[in-house]
Amino acid sequence: MAPVRLRHPKGVATIDVPFDAPYSVADLQHAVYAATQIVPSRQTLKAGYPPRALVLVPELPVSSLDLQRGDQLIVSESATPSGSSAPAASATSAAPAQSPSTQRAGPAVSTLPPLELARRPAAQPNPTSGPDHVELDGSFLIHRVVPDDNSCLFSSAALVFEQSISKAPQLRKIVADGIRNNPEKYNEAILGMPPTQYITTILKPTSWGGAIELSILAAHYSAEIDSVDVETGRIDHFSPGEFGSPSGMRAILIYSGIHYDAATLAPMADAPSEWHQTLFPITSTDDSDPVLIAAKKLADILRSKKAFTNTATFDLKCEVCGQGLKGEKGARAHAEETGHVRFGEY
């Protein structure tokens, strides 16, 4: 255990953080809540000099924050539930959620309540050119594009775990059951809304999915899910955690800022889907795993084609009242103020 000093609006406090033991960001947030009475969904934490804002993904280990023994945390309360931009966006499948290079420091998506987004149709890849791919030991890691329909996280996960995107609604039910069966972990402070409301929302085909959904699916399938952010190349790791039994396998998702796709391995770039390997043995606990290196190269190819969206700056409109908004942060602030959760992309 190591003492960490907190400076917060009501004064100072000290909490003990077990840096050398399993301890998640959620555990840290609950310790901060006990000392400050600021609920996790409204916490803003800064550390270092000059102070830097920490990206809080509850499911990740506290080591993802790169804190050092003796650090001081500056704690403030945000006016709206805090979250990260990007895996990531819980819950934004535009969102997965998420992402600098090999650090486990941020989400592929946000961990806030699910919003509903009416998307503009995305440009589809030219079928004559074939999918983007990277050679890997005589095989090819292939970008597997799924429909751009707000269920992309669930479709991508269904493709790798169930070999069919038609199983996406089934995966939404798995997430709902994961929240329902673990009320202490997935409480209102973590979800940003009452669990029953979150469950109702995430079961809708128009609701985005993100970090919370990825962590639940990783636990259900007993496999690590790695989300590779196209814009930054960062990889976010979602392990089975306390509710799953690690199988030693991993799945790869590709996150564009507002969309998830899958990455699978095939003997040739145009191999039929039934020939694709969708899960990979974990050969390294860091990002030096050859499959992860190939996944980052695949992200490099997509980045060179500008195949990503910055969720902090894209334009949205509330489909309930018509107000124009800037980025996911603006949409979430508007949702907090009005209760409106349906947005359209300009």
Q: Which domain holds residue 332?
A: 315-345
Report the predicted TM-score, pTM, of the whole model to 2 decimal places.
0.62
Distance CA 225, CA 228 (A): 10
101 domain residue, yes or no? no
| Residue 143 placed within a domain | yes
**Residue-wise pLDDT tens digits, 327-346:** 667 777 777 778 776 676 66
* Planar angle of CA 337, 339, 341, nearest 5 degrees: 115
Please report, for the domain that includes residue 235, its CATH number.
3.90.70.80
Residues 185, 143 share a domain: yes
Active site residues per annotation: 149, 152, 259, 340
On whether the CB atoms of residues 131 and 307 are closer than 8 A, the answer is no
CA distances in angstroms from 337 to 79, 117, 204, 214, 340, listed in the order given:
10, 17, 22, 27, 8
Same structural domain, 266 and 236 = yes
Supply φ then ψ for residue 125, to 5 degrees: -60, 150
Tokens of 130: 């074939």
What's at 15, amino acid-wise? I
Which of 88-97, 171-180, 238-247, 310-319 ranks highest by mean pLDDT?
171-180
Task: Provide the pLDDT for residue 345.
Answer: 63
Q: Among the three residues 27, 51, 77, which one is the final residue of a domain in this structure?
A: 77
Taking residues 103-125, what's their average pLDDT?
A: 42
What's the pLDDT at 342? 66
CB-based contact 263:236 (threshold 8 Å): no
Higher-confidence residue: 249 or 257? 249
pLDDT in tens, 64-79: 787 877 778 999 887 6
* 321 and 291 together in one domain: no
Give the number of domains in the chain. Answer: 3
Please indicate, yes or no, whether residues 253 and 125 belong to a single structural domain of this protein.
Answer: yes
Ranges 113-117, 181-185, 203-207: which has the least confidence: 113-117
pLDDT in tens, 46-58: 887 777 788 787 7
Phi, psi values for residue 34, rounded to 5° = -60, -30
